[in-house]
Structure 1
Amino acid sequence: MAGIAREVLPANSKRALNKFLTEYDWDEQQFNHERLEELQKHGETRWSKDGYIILDDTITEKAGDEVPGVGHFYDHAEGDTVWGQDLIYAFYADDKTAYPLTFRLYEQHDDEDDDHDTKYDLAREIVTELEEEVGVPADTYLFDSWFAHDSGLPDHIESYDKDWIGPLRSNRQVTYAAEEIRVDALAERIDTTERDIEDDSYHIWTKKLPVSQLGDVKLVVAEKETDEDEENPVKYLATNKIDAPTEHVIRSYGMRWRIETFFEDSKQDLGLGDCEMQTDEGASRHWHLLMAAYSLVRLDPESSALGTVRSKASSLRANLEHSLKEAVYNLLSWVRDNDDRGVDDLMEEIDHLFVHSTADANVQS
């Protein structure tokens, strides 16, 4: 935020930054839509029909009592209840890129207040925005078991002729052999088949079955083979893509991990949890600028000064650390293979590795 502010503010101070977030006249919703439009002008970040929209929420711990939406939330990452904010995000991902689309802040209310938005309401509101205002072409939504349970979200997604994939909780009821049983009870009645999907081995069973609150879905029971000291949980994946190959369902759901790396990058390096703004507008602007910063780092990574990207599924920090090590390795290799060259030649090689690459990236951006 401070870096962005330095480029647009007449003065450098904490007060100027605070005014930028709370008093300047700019529309953060319009800014977000323009950010997404800009990303579509570049091949490496342009979305496609084959991409995925991922819905998930994240908890950020807070110290203050007056920040918007603050309350006690259970944080699965911490395994405990924390004082913080709960943000519901939509995230785009495909084989070449990944970036946030939009978000909503969930605010707790008394159970007696029937008028407040639930997480389910906010998730459906996000889908409506993406389909009717933004126009994201991705065919498939991914979400966790929380959003697949009594949310109305799958029906809302289907109303836009889109597909969805999500896991079921182990206690969800399915109808099998004319009997309604828990989905985890299927393990005693089915025979799985071993299959290799990319670099992993799975024991898989799949069938079209009625599931409570979802109707007829394609149910995939998948148990991934792991080392003896690792947990080996069984996944119960459901999707309205009845005819989709089982490998496609499992591989597609694996894309959901991209939003986890976004949360990791945002909290560790982009200041998601550092903002203690006490106004709704200031906090919202901070989050929108954070998404812009993340998108700028994602934009055209192959031509950046730090070399190649290790993996789109890795965090930005891991990618940059790997690329920096790669650049240093290449430089040391050049020194080893050119021990008869002078300092001027070495400086020229450094200039080629970093300065010229940066200029090329700026021109393309």
Structure 2
Amino acid sequence: MMPITDFLSCTHVFDEFESLSPAHRHHAKTYATGLVAASNKTVAGIAREVLPAQGKRALNKFLTEYDWDEQQFNHERLEELQNHGETRWSKDGYIILDDTITEKAGDEVPGVGHFYDHAEGDTVWGQDLIYAFYADDKTAYPLTFRLYEKQDEDDQDHDTKYDLAREIVTELEEEVGVPAATYLFDSWFAHDSGLPEHIESYGKDWIGPLRSNRQVTYGGEEIRVDALEERIDTVERNIDDETYHIWTKKLPVSQLGDVKLVIAEKETDEDDKKNPVKYLVTNKIDAPTEHIIRSYGMRWRIETFFEDSKQDLGLGDCEMQTDEGTSRHWHLLMAAYSLVRLDPDSSALGTVRSKASSLRANLEHSLKEAIYDLLSWVRNNDDRGVDDLMTEIDHLFVHSTTDANVQS
């Protein structure tokens, strides 16, 4: 751990956000800088390691009490990304819908409950977040999210995951105006969700996989989709240096109507069991099969976001016990994820530094900036002895061992 003596330059864009007052901008810069560069990404850790912070209490009040609109803040973030060619979205991009589980220790945080985590292969105690994510060949970043909260089965009024997914689509189409023409989602959202129909109501396309037990009508008979493999002949095709065995046809699928079905199996090594047969369906009836497979491959971008954010940006570190505090944490994290890609050396507001899917190179650049700021801070404090400065720095290290796991 090292002291962070100045805000990361990529956070200066907050000075243009009308959703934040001047005082709020200071706290937003503090928190985003801490999420990127601090070793302890809790409120206590950030307030301690980012020296311009005005204290743990002030930062906590910024997240839980101060009056600022995180929804407007998020829309301003997305508008800023459209000012840079490399992050500007287009109709050729994709909106990816998926959820992730963040494990929690406490039982007072909003939405906490028992959820099955596919990444862990087990049920965990945590929160379930549904995200929308934009991706194309040059960039990728989160758009918005919803927190899913489990309720009693008798509660007919609470939002299901399907309700939240449709709500996200409505926000993106009616409020944000993302031009991407195609939505991608997993088999969970393709089953009895009303999501495909909702997407189509905005004139957009969708691609998603079917579970192997979904019913399709073939040869006048309704059968499971995996039973089709016994009745069809696949064709070998090379797509992006990978060999696939493919069959495709327009046919009726239960709950989806007439869609294009693509059955694809990628050739792998004998001991590689990670590539089972995929049953992809889409309303893009006339789209080439290669396009469907390549498009669905873009879903991995959101998985990378989940992994990077949990490992490097503190996605799962927030243990706040208020809805507003947790929501603002996640909104500031999305801002940090997006803005850390901007290189301040190229222009006043920055240009995209890297189009790589992983944040690691961008985080290394930000940490180098923090180290440079620290050295400049030491050099510019010529009115104070080196021993005094080292005492102040040492104070930070000593206290980091006592409260590294403290969460406000």
**What's the TM-score once normalised by structure 1's chain length?**
0.83
Q: Cα–Cα, structure 1 residues 154 and 318, in superposed 2: closer, same or farther, change >3 Å?
A: same
In structure 1, how many angstroms separate the alpha carbons of the residues matched to 2:171 and 2:346?
33
Is the 8 Å Cα contact of residues 199 and 205 (structure 2) preserved in structure 1?
Answer: yes
Shift in CA distance, 339/169, structure 1 to aligned 2, threshold 3 Å: farther
Question: Which stretches in structure 1 are left out of the alignment for 5+ residues?
Answer: none
Measure the CA separation in 2 of the matches of 1:360 and 1:80.
30
Q: Is the 8 A contact 1:50 1:139 kept in 2?
A: yes
Deviates more, 1:225-234 or 1:57-66: 225-234
**1:127-146 pair list within 5 angstroms:** 127-146=169-188
Against the structure 1 CA distance between its residues 305 and 30, is the aligned structure 2 distance closer, same or farther, given a 3 Å change threshold? closer
Is the 8 Å Cα contact of residues 52 and 138 (structure 1) preserved in structure 2?
yes
How many angstroms does 1:228 deviate by? 1.2
Q: Report the Cα distance in structure 2 between the residues aligned to 1:254 and 1:194, rounded to whole angstroms.
A: 18
Measured in 1, the distance between the counterparts of 2:349 and 2:392 equals 14
Q: Deviations over 1:4-56 (max 9, x none)?
A: 97999985322222111011221000000000000000001000010000000
Query: How far 1:122 sits from its partner (Å)?
Result: 0.2
Q: Any conservation in 2 of the 1:306–1:320 contact (CA below 8 Å)?
A: no
Deviations 1:209-266 (A, max 9, x none): 1000000000000001111110330000000000000000000000010000000111
Please identify, of 268-277 and 327-336, the stretch whose mean Cα deviation from structure 2 is larger: 327-336
- For each residue in 1:177-221, what CA deviation from the matched residue of structure 2 results, as whole angstroms up to 9, or x when unmatched? 110000000110000001011121100000001000000000000
SS of residue matched to 2:133: strand
| Structure 1 runs (4+) greater than 3 angstroms displaced | 1-12, 299-314, 318-365
Structure 2 residues not aligned, in runs of 5+: 1-42
SS in 1 for 2:68: coil
Measured after TM superposition, the shift of residue 342 of structure 1 is 31
My pick for the range that moved more, 220-229 or 342-351, is 342-351
Partner of 1:58, secondary structure, is: strand
Contact 2:47-2:53 within 8 A present in 1 as well: no
Corresponding residue SS for 2:150: coil
For the Cα contact (< 8 Å) 1:97–1:298, is it kept in 2? no
Counterparts of 2:364 and 2:224 in 1: how far apart (Å)?
45
Cα 1:206/1:160, change in 2 over 3 Å = same
1:122-141 residue CA offsets vs partner (Å, 9 max, x unmatched): 00000000000000000000
TM-score by length of 2: 0.75
Residues 146 and 164 of structure 2 are in contact (CA less than 8 Å); yes or no, is this contact kept in structure 1? yes
Q: Which of the residues 352, 355, 362 maps onto 2:395? A: 352
Q: Does 1:170 align with 2:212?
A: yes
SS in 1 for 2:147: strand
What CA distance in whole angstroms lies between the structure 2 residues aligned with 1:10 and 1:348? 18
Query: Is 1:90–1:100's contact at 8 Å kept on the other side of the alignment?
Result: yes
How many Å apart are 1:273 and its aligned residue? Answer: 0.3
Match of 2:278 among 235, 242, 250: 235
**Kept after mapping to 1: 8 A contact 2:128/2:147:** yes
Change (3 A) 1:333 1:119: closer
Change (3 A) 1:327 1:178: farther
What is the aligned residue count? 365
Give percent identity, aligned residues only.
Answer: 91
Structure 1 residues 343, 293: closer, same or farther in 2, change over 3 A? closer
- Which is worse superposed, 224-233 or 39-48? 224-233
> Cα distance 1:307–1:155, how it changes in 2: closer, same or farther (>3 A)?
closer
Distance 1:279 1:209, change over 3 A: same
Q: Distance in 1 between matches of 2:44 and 2:219?
A: 61
